[in-house]
Amino acid sequence: MIYVFESESREGLFAFAGEPSGIHLPERHGPWRATVGEDGETEKDPHLSRIDRNAVEQAVKKVGFQLWRKKVASEA
């Protein structure tokens, strides 16, 4: 399973992790809040559906997490 977390200290910063506690996520970007609890739920978020799942799984296996940033819409 892949779990999704959102940084509460850095706007637009998210992470994937292989376990629900997020224990391997980098502390310097935390605290982290779980946003998606199970793998299948990631299909509901259009941002997540564009991310290369194989790359995420490889990163999670290698270092325990994968960071990604959601672009924040600029004000015009």
Give residue-wise pLDDT tens across range 48-76: 677 888 999 999 999 999 999 887 666 55
Confidence tier at 9 by pLDDT (50, 70, 90):
very high
Residue 23 has pLDDT above 90, yes or no: yes
CA distances, 26 to each of 7, 23, 49, 59, 74 (Å): 10, 8, 24, 14, 27
Rg (CA), the chain: 12
pLDDT for the residue numbered 73: 65
For residue 41, list its beta bridge partners: none
Residue 19 has pLDDT above 60, yes or no: yes
> Strand (E) positions, 8-45?
13-17, 32-36
Q: What is the pTM of this model?
A: 0.77
